[in-house]
Amino acid sequence: MALLNVLCYPDPRLNQVAKPVAQVDARIKKIVADMADTMYEAPGVGLAATQVDIHERIVVIDISEDQNDLKVFINPEIIWSSPEKKSWREGCLSVPDFYDEVERPSQVRVKALDIDGKEFELDADGLLAVCLQHELDHLQGKVFVAYLSILKRTRISQKLKKRAKEFAGER
């Protein structure tokens, strides 16, 4: 499988809204496999297709310690969220080395297609609920820093732009 390039904030491609997957076929299965490899290599616990410049509604998540419980969500949508909220310290492969508190519903129910194109629903709480909401935000063109103050977003953006310039200068 291939490792994919993860877009880094503030890349404007991260703000694109993903389109629904029309059919789960061999092309989509390859994208899922490549996304999983990319997520595990990073290492991360979730990855949305938008983050690898594929603007289709695909998410992979694995919150297991041993990285042996890959969950695939094609055309996912949150169909219910709890009124109770919980704050979690979030990070993102597209915003490397930055973490901050984000408040989200503590439980969600998601409807999606699996890797075989079969529809399913999943109730999630804890870290899985946070990951689902975080990754589905990506499919809507929203990066977790959008929940932070303008001052924090600006600082993060400036630091990542500077880091990218320094990295490009080393080449």
Q: What is the pLDDT of residues 71-127, one digit of tens each?
A: 999 999 999 999 999 999 999 999 999 999 999 999 999 999 999 999 999 999 999
Those residues whose C-beta lies under 8 Å from the C-beta of residue 158, and which sit 6 or more positions away, are none
Q: How would residue 169 be classed by pLDDT, with cut points 50, 70 and 90?
A: confident
**CATH homologous superfamily, domain 12-170:** Peptide deformylase (3.90.45.10)
Its pTM surpasses 0.85: yes
Identify the pLDDT of residue 167.
Answer: 81
Identify the pLDDT of residue 171.
Answer: 61
Q: Is the pLDDT of residue 146 over 70?
A: yes
**Domain regions of the chain by residue span:** 12-170
DSSP three-state, residue 113: strand
Q: How would residue 151 be classed by pLDDT, with cut points 50, 70 and 90?
A: very high
CA–CA gap between residue 98 and residue 123 (Å, rounded)? 28
Identify the pLDDT of residue 56.
Answer: 98
CA–CA gap between residue 136 and residue 154 (Å, rounded)? 23
Residue at token pair 């689902």: 132
Q: Which residues are annotated binding-site positions?
A: 92, 134, 138
Q: Please give the structure tokens belonging to residue 15.
A: 């703000």
For the annotated catalytic residues, the residue numbers are 135
| Residue 126 region by backbone torsions, left for phi larger than 0, else alpha for psi between -120 and 50, else beta | left
Q: Which residues are annotated binding-site positions for Fe cation?
A: 92, 134, 138
Buried b (16+ CB within 10 A) or exposed e, 26-40: eebeebbbbbbbbbb
Tens digit of each residue's pLDDT (9 = 90 or more) over 3-42: 999 999 999 999 999 999 999 999 999 999 999 999 999 9
